[in-house]
Structure 1
């Protein structure tokens, strides 16, 4: 499973697309009729300095992912944190996916918060489930 050490960031984001107010939003183009949107990625190490308080993020239970929605600024940031990475590691183990790929390790902070979350998980456990869930043939 691939996990990012960065967040996906969008500007000009309108409200949620469903009534639950969950995690799925729509961004407006930079100019009317355009297909260009404002956004990009923010490394985990820079989120706080840019002004995102990751400790107060909303948790999306279905995707096991945190996000920050700032309606007054029309900004949205979806990202991984230590909790979501532990969830992804557990999913990887439960489905015998074989491991975790990180993109990109230098985007972690100086305390290696995200790396330590992945590293501390026991991916090499002895009680393996060798069931193949997908057959290419």
Structure 2
């Protein structure tokens, strides 16, 4: 087995172990976290997610238009940020108008995430193999 394959195998074992170890941690959090809290820098946190999403979209567009295979990586990361943003939009909005706005935003972010996943899984421009 080559060194790269061994490293990949250990990385996958680490990821699988992390998934298993996160289950009891989630139980601890579910039992101990307060249902309400005061958050400092709330606007900075939300703006930060949007900045990450904008940078990810820009990087993916620039790299993708250049035919650079790294666009698949930025697309994947951007999809994750979009899903994260949608999750927090929905779970932190009170029932009513704010939740309706959050649902609309989450639908748009889900569309962005879907486009990013499509790009992350697709080959290079016009069906050509992605460049290296």
TM-score, normalised by the number of residues in structure 2: 0.30
Q: Which has the higher contact order (CA 8 A, sep 6+)?
A: 1
Larger radius of gyration: 2
More helix by share: 2
What's the TM-score once normalised by structure 1's chain length?
0.29
